[in-house]
Amino acid sequence: MDIVEPPIPFLDLKAQQARLGPALRARIDAVMAHGQFILGPEVAELETKLAAFCGAAHCVSVSSGTDALQIAMMAEGIGRGDAVFLPAFTYTATAEVPLLLGAVPVFVDIDAATFQIDPEHLEQRIGDAARRGLRPRAVVGVDLFGQPAPWPQLRDIASRHDLFTLDDCAQAFGAALGGARLGRAAQATAVSFFPSKPLGAYGDGGALFTDDAARAALYRSLRTHGEGTTRYDVQRIGMNGRLDTIQAAVLLAKLGTFEAELARREAIARTYDAGLARHVTIPARVADSTSAWAIYAILFTDNAARTAAQEALRAQGVPSAIYYPKPLHHQPAYAGAHDGVALPVSEAIANRIMALPLHADLSDAQVARVIAAFEGLGDHAAR
């Protein structure tokens, strides 16, 4: 008789909570005791520690990764008539924000191996946008799945076309490029602390990083309704965009084990690589970088092979997820903004990609079980 093991969790926040132990409760209890739920002392402590962690001069914590993107774009005055360049293969928040501000998200295709924005195509899209009568204004590089976007090339293009550089680092806090942690790769860096991100809170949260003191001051103003030097001095239109003190307390407790978690994620990714390369296309690495491994994404030869594999894995208790089933330029919400250009790499990858569980609380036995589940699926590596 087969013994059916319980399914492996795609994400296991309960195991992490148990591992963090009383330190986490002590942090939360401290907030309950002092009662400063908005901008309490934990918020400033977290900002100092996060800035030190990634080497940025300034950290401004905010209410979510999406709000971090919005505050960064509001601070530049991005709006009507502006083109904001971003990859078509990303989460909707990246493109939603420029549209909300009245600007036009201009979708750029991705690299077929690393899934990151394609700098050559970006150059082409800058020309396309200018021909549409839009003003090229900003490029949002997304560090997709935890690996850095091609920042040296993006910065070079941005400087030639006078574009603001914004790093959508929602998935990649803790990753490094050229030996330096992300946080300074662009003029501003937006991070998300959504619970499933590499560094996750117990609710929504985010942060902005910049080396520019004037930008940091503007971000602080914008996150509190555009306030000036006193609470009832309203300098500009802002948002209610602060990080809750309780979430800062949770993040402080988690920050203590974050480096160890990043190392564990890297070790699991390497074990997956070694065990899966015979079966599927394993993730290509961005040169000279480390990943935060928000997502470990493999490729099948085609959509039918992926569907069959997903069902076979599920039957063995191995969960999977698809990021992203549809590139943004094919989403109804962006139909009116998109110029109709085909983005063939994003379209093809969406049909072939699949994510496997990867988190710091995955045991060696669970990792081995995931790999073993691929035996018998056949060879789906696109070589």
User: What residues are labeled active site?
Assistant: 197
Select the residue interacting with ligand PLP from 53, 85, 89, 91 (CB under 6 A): 91
* Closer by beta carbon to ligand PLP, 66 or else 245: 66
Coil vs helix vs strand at 110: strand
Select the residue interacting with ligand PLP from 94, 165, 189, 245 (CB under 6 A): 94
User: How many positions of this chain bind ligand PLP (CB under 6 A)?
Assistant: 15
Helix (H) or strand (E) holding 87: strand 82-87
Q: What is the largest CA-CA distance in the chain?
A: 73
Torsion of CA 282, 283, 287, 292, to 10 degrees: -130
* Closer by beta carbon to ligand PLP, 272 or else 323: 323
* Closer by beta carbon to ligand PLP, 54 or else 243: 243
Torsion of CA 139, 145, 147, 152, to 10 degrees: -10
Shortest approach of ligand PLP to residue 71 CB, angstroms? 12
Which residues within the stretch 185-244 sit at the binding site for ligand PLP (CB under 6 A)?
192, 194, 204, 206
Q: Which residue type does 220 have? A: R
Q: Determine, following the binding rule CB under 6 A, whether residue 171 of this chain makes contact with ligand PLP.
A: yes
Strands (E), 300-343: none
Select the residue interacting with ligand PLP from 24, 108, 142, 297 (CB under 6 A): 142
Residue 299's CB: how many other CB atoms inside 10 A?
24
Strands (E), 161-319: 164-168, 176-177, 180-181, 188-192, 206-210, 289-290, 296-299
Shortest approach of ligand PLP to residue 235 CB, angstroms? 25
The span of 90-98, 217-225, 297-305, 325-333 binding ligand PLP (CB under 6 A) equals: 90-98
Shortest approach of ligand PLP to residue 309 CB, angstroms? 24
Residue 318 φ/ψ, nearest 5 degrees: -105, 115
Using alpha carbons, list the distances in angstroms from residue 126 to 93, 279, 313.
Answer: 21, 39, 42
The span of 79-87, 101-109, 127-135, 163-171 binding ligand PLP (CB under 6 A) equals: 163-171
* Closer by beta carbon to ligand PLP, 95 or else 299: 95
Binding residues vs ligand PLP (CB under 6 A): 64-66, 90-91, 93-94, 142, 168, 170-171, 192, 194, 204, 206
